[in-house]
Protein backbone atom coordinates (compact mmCIF):
# COMPACT_ATOMS: atom_id res chain seq x y z
CA UNK A 1 0.00 0.00 0.00
CA UNK A 2 1.63 3.31 -1.05
CA UNK A 3 2.05 5.91 1.70
CA UNK A 4 1.42 9.60 0.95
CA UNK A 5 2.06 12.79 2.91
CA UNK A 6 -0.17 15.74 1.97
CA UNK A 7 0.99 19.06 3.39
CA UNK A 8 -1.89 21.50 3.69
CA UNK A 9 -4.07 18.40 3.93
CA UNK A 10 -6.87 20.14 5.85
CA UNK A 11 -7.30 22.84 3.22
CA UNK A 12 -9.73 22.99 0.31
CA UNK A 13 -7.57 21.25 -2.29
CA UNK A 14 -5.55 19.22 0.19
CA UNK A 15 -8.63 17.61 1.71
CA UNK A 16 -9.97 16.63 -1.72
CA UNK A 17 -6.57 15.16 -2.58
CA UNK A 18 -6.51 13.15 0.68
CA UNK A 19 -9.97 11.78 -0.13
CA UNK A 20 -8.91 10.84 -3.67
CA UNK A 21 -5.71 9.11 -2.49
CA UNK A 22 -7.62 7.04 0.05
CA UNK A 23 -9.94 5.93 -2.75
CA UNK A 24 -6.82 4.94 -4.74
CA UNK A 25 -5.66 2.70 -1.92
CA UNK A 26 -3.03 4.94 -0.33
CA UNK A 27 -2.27 5.32 3.33
CA UNK A 28 -2.52 9.09 3.83
CA UNK A 29 -0.93 11.45 6.34
CA UNK A 30 -2.46 14.93 6.26
CA UNK A 31 -0.21 17.62 7.74
CA UNK A 32 -1.52 21.13 8.44
CA UNK A 33 -1.02 23.92 10.97
CA UNK A 34 -4.71 24.90 10.51
CA UNK A 35 -3.82 28.51 9.72
CA UNK A 36 -6.30 28.48 6.83
CA UNK A 37 -7.35 24.81 6.83
CA UNK A 38 -9.90 23.21 9.14
CA UNK A 39 -10.43 19.80 10.72
CA UNK A 40 -14.01 19.91 9.42
CA UNK A 41 -12.63 19.31 5.91
CA UNK A 42 -11.14 15.93 6.87
CA UNK A 43 -13.31 14.63 9.71
CA UNK A 44 -15.12 12.29 7.34
CA UNK A 45 -11.82 10.68 6.27
CA UNK A 46 -10.97 9.17 9.66
CA UNK A 47 -9.94 5.53 9.21
CA UNK A 48 -7.05 3.19 9.87
CA UNK A 49 -5.44 4.39 6.64
CA UNK A 50 -5.70 8.11 7.45
CA UNK A 51 -3.74 10.13 10.00
CA UNK A 52 -3.70 13.85 10.76
CA UNK A 53 -0.63 15.62 12.15
CA UNK A 54 -0.86 19.25 13.24
CA UNK A 55 2.46 20.75 12.26
CA UNK A 56 3.92 23.86 10.63
CA UNK A 57 5.88 22.66 7.60
CA UNK A 58 8.29 25.59 7.85
CA UNK A 59 9.73 23.61 10.79
CA UNK A 60 11.60 20.31 10.46
CA UNK A 61 9.28 17.52 9.31
CA UNK A 62 9.64 14.13 10.97
CA UNK A 63 7.63 11.16 9.77
CA UNK A 64 8.34 7.65 11.06
CA UNK A 65 8.51 4.90 8.48
CA UNK A 66 8.52 5.00 4.69
CA UNK A 67 6.91 7.68 2.54
CA UNK A 68 6.34 7.07 -1.17
CA UNK A 69 4.79 10.39 -2.21
CA UNK A 70 4.97 13.94 -0.84
CA UNK A 71 2.24 16.27 -2.12
CA UNK A 72 3.18 19.82 -1.07
CA UNK A 73 -0.05 21.83 -0.92
CA UNK A 74 0.63 23.89 2.21
CA UNK A 75 0.13 27.62 1.59
CA UNK A 76 -2.41 30.38 2.03
CA UNK A 77 -4.01 30.43 -1.41
CA UNK A 78 -6.62 33.19 -1.60
CA UNK A 79 -5.95 36.92 -2.02
CA UNK A 80 -7.52 37.67 1.36
CA UNK A 81 -5.28 35.09 3.03
CA UNK A 82 -1.97 36.17 1.58
CA UNK A 83 -2.76 39.85 2.03
CA UNK A 84 -3.36 39.19 5.76
CA UNK A 85 -0.58 36.59 6.11
CA UNK A 86 2.24 37.88 3.89
CA UNK A 87 5.17 36.64 5.96
CA UNK A 88 3.63 33.21 6.53
CA UNK A 89 2.94 32.94 2.78
CA UNK A 90 6.56 33.67 1.92
CA UNK A 91 7.85 31.33 4.61
CA UNK A 92 5.75 28.35 3.54
CA UNK A 93 6.74 28.89 -0.10
CA UNK A 94 10.42 28.99 0.79
CA UNK A 95 11.09 27.20 4.10
CA UNK A 96 8.08 24.89 3.82
CA UNK A 97 9.05 23.77 0.32
CA UNK A 98 12.65 23.29 1.50
CA UNK A 99 11.54 21.07 4.40
CA UNK A 100 9.14 19.06 2.22
CA UNK A 101 11.81 18.50 -0.42
CA UNK A 102 14.29 17.49 2.28
CA UNK A 103 11.85 14.87 3.52
CA UNK A 104 11.34 13.59 -0.03
CA UNK A 105 15.09 13.26 -0.49
CA UNK A 106 15.48 11.44 2.85
CA UNK A 107 12.62 9.03 2.11
CA UNK A 108 13.41 8.63 -1.61
CA UNK A 109 9.82 9.75 -2.21
CA UNK A 110 8.31 11.32 -5.29
CA UNK A 111 7.47 14.98 -4.74
CA UNK A 112 4.80 17.21 -6.25
CA UNK A 113 4.66 20.97 -5.79
CA UNK A 114 1.26 22.63 -5.95
CA UNK A 115 2.23 25.80 -7.80
CA UNK A 116 -0.17 28.29 -9.33
CA UNK A 117 -1.18 30.23 -12.41
CA UNK A 118 -0.21 33.30 -10.38
CA UNK A 119 3.40 32.68 -11.44
CA UNK A 120 2.28 34.22 -14.75
CA UNK A 121 1.20 37.43 -12.98
CA UNK A 122 -0.86 39.83 -15.08
CA UNK A 123 0.00 38.02 -18.31
CA UNK A 124 1.00 39.63 -21.57
CA UNK A 125 0.60 36.28 -23.35
CA UNK A 126 -2.85 34.74 -23.72
CA UNK A 127 -3.68 31.93 -23.13
CA UNK A 128 -0.79 31.06 -20.85
CA UNK A 129 1.58 28.26 -21.84
CA UNK A 130 4.15 26.70 -19.54
CA UNK A 131 7.04 28.32 -21.41
CA UNK A 132 5.76 31.84 -20.59
CA UNK A 133 7.94 33.41 -17.87
CA UNK A 134 5.25 35.73 -16.57
CA UNK A 135 4.67 39.41 -15.79
CA UNK A 136 4.88 39.68 -12.00
CA UNK A 137 5.35 42.73 -9.77
CA UNK A 138 7.72 41.33 -7.11
CA UNK A 139 7.14 44.23 -4.68
CA UNK A 140 3.38 44.62 -5.11
CA UNK A 141 0.88 43.31 -2.55
CA UNK A 142 0.34 40.09 -4.53
CA UNK A 143 4.08 39.53 -4.85
CA UNK A 144 4.25 37.64 -1.56
CA UNK A 145 2.25 34.79 -3.10
CA UNK A 146 3.46 35.04 -6.69
CA UNK A 147 7.13 35.13 -5.78
CA UNK A 148 6.78 32.49 -3.05
CA UNK A 149 5.49 30.08 -5.68
CA UNK A 150 8.09 31.13 -8.26
CA UNK A 151 10.83 30.52 -5.69
CA UNK A 152 9.24 27.18 -4.76
CA UNK A 153 9.35 26.13 -8.42
CA UNK A 154 13.03 27.10 -8.69
CA UNK A 155 13.86 25.22 -5.49
CA UNK A 156 11.96 22.16 -6.68
CA UNK A 157 13.88 22.10 -9.97
CA UNK A 158 17.16 22.54 -8.08
CA UNK A 159 16.43 19.48 -5.95
CA UNK A 160 15.57 17.56 -9.09
CA UNK A 161 18.68 18.60 -11.02
CA UNK A 162 21.26 18.52 -8.23
CA UNK A 163 19.83 16.09 -5.66
CA UNK A 164 18.09 13.69 -8.08
CA UNK A 165 14.73 14.01 -6.31
CA UNK A 166 11.85 12.82 -8.50
CA UNK A 167 9.84 16.07 -8.63
CA UNK A 168 6.70 17.29 -10.40
CA UNK A 169 5.26 20.82 -10.61
CA UNK A 170 1.59 21.54 -11.26
CA UNK A 171 0.45 25.07 -12.05
CA UNK A 172 -3.09 25.19 -10.74
CA UNK A 173 -5.62 27.54 -12.33
CA UNK A 174 -8.81 28.77 -10.67
CA UNK A 175 -10.56 25.83 -9.00
CA UNK A 176 -13.86 25.59 -7.17
CA UNK A 177 -16.06 23.11 -5.33
CA UNK A 178 -17.28 22.06 -1.89
CA UNK A 179 -15.18 23.02 1.17
CA UNK A 180 -14.15 26.43 -0.12
CA UNK A 181 -14.22 28.94 2.73
CA UNK A 182 -17.03 31.50 2.40
CA UNK A 183 -15.75 34.99 1.66
CA UNK A 184 -12.10 33.95 1.38
CA UNK A 185 -11.48 36.62 -1.24
CA UNK A 186 -12.13 34.50 -4.32
CA UNK A 187 -15.05 35.08 -6.65
CA UNK A 188 -17.13 31.90 -6.34
CA UNK A 189 -17.11 31.52 -2.53
CA UNK A 190 -17.90 35.24 -2.30
CA UNK A 191 -20.71 35.25 -4.87
CA UNK A 192 -22.59 32.10 -3.78
CA UNK A 193 -23.25 33.13 -0.14
CA UNK A 194 -24.23 36.62 -1.27
CA UNK A 195 -26.63 35.16 -3.84
CA UNK A 196 -28.15 32.69 -1.38
CA UNK A 197 -28.83 35.55 1.04
CA UNK A 198 -30.11 37.84 -1.73
CA UNK A 199 -27.37 40.32 -0.82
CA UNK A 200 -25.57 42.59 -3.28
CA UNK A 201 -22.88 40.70 -5.17
CA UNK A 202 -19.55 42.48 -5.00
CA UNK A 203 -17.59 42.69 -8.23
CA UNK A 204 -14.14 44.25 -8.30
CA UNK A 205 -13.58 46.48 -11.30
CA UNK A 206 -16.04 46.42 -14.19
CA UNK A 207 -16.28 42.63 -14.21
CA UNK A 208 -14.70 42.20 -17.64
CA UNK A 209 -11.58 40.52 -16.22
CA UNK A 210 -11.57 36.84 -17.07
CA UNK A 211 -10.88 33.60 -15.23
CA UNK A 212 -11.07 29.94 -16.18
CA UNK A 213 -12.81 27.83 -13.54
CA UNK A 214 -12.14 24.10 -13.06
CA UNK A 215 -14.21 21.84 -10.82
CA UNK A 216 -12.12 20.35 -8.02
CA UNK A 217 -12.53 16.65 -8.88
CA UNK A 218 -11.23 17.25 -12.41
CA UNK A 219 -8.24 19.13 -11.03
CA UNK A 220 -7.33 16.41 -8.53
CA UNK A 221 -7.49 13.74 -11.26
CA UNK A 222 -5.06 15.76 -13.39
CA UNK A 223 -2.69 16.28 -10.47
CA UNK A 224 -2.67 12.56 -9.66
CA UNK A 225 -1.87 11.70 -13.26
CA UNK A 226 1.00 14.19 -13.22
CA UNK A 227 2.52 12.68 -10.07
CA UNK A 228 2.40 9.24 -11.69
CA UNK A 229 4.13 10.52 -14.85
CA UNK A 230 7.83 10.79 -15.63
CA UNK A 231 7.64 14.50 -16.50
CA UNK A 232 9.48 17.05 -14.35
CA UNK A 233 8.83 20.49 -15.86
CA UNK A 234 5.74 22.54 -14.89
CA UNK A 235 2.34 21.50 -16.27
CA UNK A 236 -0.81 23.64 -16.38
CA UNK A 237 -3.90 21.98 -14.93
CA UNK A 238 -7.13 23.94 -15.30
CA UNK A 239 -10.18 24.53 -17.44
CA UNK A 240 -9.49 26.37 -20.73
CA UNK A 241 -13.08 27.63 -20.81
CA UNK A 242 -12.66 31.37 -20.15
CA UNK A 243 -15.42 33.58 -18.78
CA UNK A 244 -15.69 37.05 -17.32
CA UNK A 245 -16.27 37.65 -13.63
CA UNK A 246 -19.53 39.37 -14.59
CA UNK A 247 -20.65 36.23 -16.44
CA UNK A 248 -19.84 34.11 -13.41
CA UNK A 249 -21.85 36.40 -11.13
CA UNK A 250 -24.83 36.36 -13.50
CA UNK A 251 -24.67 32.55 -13.74
CA UNK A 252 -24.67 32.14 -9.96
CA UNK A 253 -27.62 34.53 -9.62
CA UNK A 254 -29.54 32.47 -12.18
CA UNK A 255 -28.67 29.08 -10.65
CA UNK A 256 -29.65 30.21 -7.15
CA UNK A 257 -32.81 32.06 -8.28
CA UNK A 258 -31.42 35.01 -6.35
CA UNK A 259 -32.69 38.59 -6.19
CA UNK A 260 -29.15 39.88 -5.77
CA UNK A 261 -27.90 42.89 -7.72
CA UNK A 262 -24.34 43.61 -8.74
CA UNK A 263 -22.27 46.31 -7.07
CA UNK A 264 -18.81 47.39 -8.19
CA UNK A 265 -15.77 48.07 -6.03
CA UNK A 266 -12.31 49.27 -7.15
CA UNK A 267 -10.06 46.65 -8.74
CA UNK A 268 -7.25 45.50 -6.39
CA UNK A 269 -3.64 46.36 -7.23
CA UNK A 270 -2.03 44.04 -9.82
CA UNK A 271 -5.22 42.00 -10.25
CA UNK A 272 -4.76 39.94 -13.45
CA UNK A 273 -6.95 41.09 -16.34
CA UNK A 274 -7.05 37.68 -18.02
CA UNK A 275 -6.42 34.09 -17.01
CA UNK A 276 -6.72 31.05 -19.27
CA UNK A 277 -4.58 27.92 -19.32
CA UNK A 278 -3.19 26.38 -22.44
CA UNK A 279 -3.55 22.69 -21.52
CA UNK A 280 -2.04 21.25 -24.71
CA UNK A 281 0.75 19.69 -22.65
CA UNK A 282 -1.63 18.09 -20.13
CA UNK A 283 -3.72 16.66 -22.94
CA UNK A 284 -0.68 15.21 -24.70
CA UNK A 285 1.31 14.09 -21.68
CA UNK A 286 -1.43 12.95 -19.30
CA UNK A 287 -4.43 12.35 -21.55
CA UNK A 288 -6.23 14.79 -19.27
CA UNK A 289 -8.77 17.52 -19.76
CA UNK A 290 -11.65 18.67 -17.56
CA UNK A 291 -14.91 16.75 -17.96
CA UNK A 292 -17.33 18.54 -15.62
CA UNK A 293 -19.10 21.55 -17.12
CA UNK A 294 -18.85 24.74 -15.09
CA UNK A 295 -22.61 24.92 -14.44
CA UNK A 296 -22.70 21.31 -13.26
CA UNK A 297 -19.88 22.03 -10.85
CA UNK A 298 -21.54 25.23 -9.70
CA UNK A 299 -24.75 23.36 -8.85
CA UNK A 300 -22.76 20.93 -6.69
CA UNK A 301 -20.96 23.81 -5.02
CA UNK A 302 -24.17 25.77 -4.43
CA UNK A 303 -25.75 22.69 -2.82
CA UNK A 304 -22.77 22.41 -0.49
CA UNK A 305 -22.94 26.07 0.52
CA UNK A 306 -26.66 25.68 1.20
CA UNK A 307 -25.87 22.78 3.51
CA UNK A 308 -23.50 24.83 5.70
CA UNK A 309 -25.77 27.86 6.14
As a 3-state breakdown, the chain gives helix, strand, coil percent values, each rounded to 5, of 40, 20, 40
> What residues contact residue 200 under an 8 Å CB cut-off, 6+ apart?
194, 260, 261, 262, 263
Alpha-carbon gap, residue 87 to 144, rounded angstroms? 8
Q: Which alpha helices (DSSP H) does 40-78 contain, by range?
A: none
Q: For 78, left (φ over 0), alpha (ψ -120 to 50), or beta?
A: beta
Spatial separation of the C-alpha atoms in residues 230 and 117, rounded to whole Å? 22
d(CA 107, CA 2): 13
DSSP H helices, the chain, are 12-23, 79-84, 86-91, 97-107, 143-163, 187-196, 216-227, 245-255, 280-286, 294-308
Distance CA 70, CA 101 (A): 8
145 in active site? yes
The residue annotated as part of the active site, out of 69, 82, 145, 224, is 145
- Known catalytic residues? 145
Amino acid sequence: MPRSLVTGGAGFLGSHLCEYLLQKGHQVIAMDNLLTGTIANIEHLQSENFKFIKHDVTEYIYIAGPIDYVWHFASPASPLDYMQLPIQTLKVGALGTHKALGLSMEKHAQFLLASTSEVYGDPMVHPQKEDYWGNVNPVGPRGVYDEAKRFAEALTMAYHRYKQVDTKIVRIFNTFGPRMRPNDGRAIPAFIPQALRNESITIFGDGTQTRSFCYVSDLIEGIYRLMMSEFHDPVNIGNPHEMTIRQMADTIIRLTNSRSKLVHHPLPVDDPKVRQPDITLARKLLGWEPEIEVEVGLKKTIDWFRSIF
